[in-house]
Amino acid sequence: MKSLSAEWRDEKGTEWVNESMAAIVMRRKHSLPIMVAVYESGVTCTSDLLRKVHGHPKSVINTARALERSGVLSRVRLRDGRHRVETRLTLRGMQLVETPIYRWDDLFRKWDRLSD
């Protein structure tokens, strides 16, 4: 039996980019905690994000990358400091966090139509 997470990857293990917004946000267990942590902080670095989310570092970072590719987060590597990456919510991310969860279905459909 093929695992559900394997269906979201190609033969090289690379995640599909054209999947729906709902699938990107809802299939990863750290998506919501990451979005809330960044929303509360405004801007956060990766180490602070890891402390706030309490997840395995690889899982949290991969989820943040997927959220970045979907347009929910913005991540910027800073020149000062050693490998420092700052994370912020984009306008789309802010809209998602500030929308009541029962309205997310409408929001995801709207975004999916815009990306077509």
Task: Express each pLDDT in 25-55 by its tens digit.
Answer: 778 889 989 999 999 999 999 999 999 999 9
Q: Is the pLDDT reported for residue 106 higher than 90? A: no
Label residue 78 by pLDDT band (50, 70, 90). Answer: confident
- Output the six-digit token pair for 90: 């984009």
Name all domains of the chain by residue range, CATH numbers in brackets.
20-103 (1.10.10.10)
Q: What is the pTM of this model?
A: 0.73
Burial 32-57 (b: 16+ CB within 10 A, else e): bbbbebbbeeeebebeebbebbebee
Looking at 8-12, 26-30, 51-55, 100-104, which range is the least confident one? 8-12
Q: Which of 20, 52, 37, 31 is nearest to 88 (CA)?
A: 37
CA–CA separation, 83 and 50 (whole Å):
15
| Residue 116, helix vs strand vs coil | coil
Label residue 24 by pLDDT band (50, 70, 90). Answer: confident
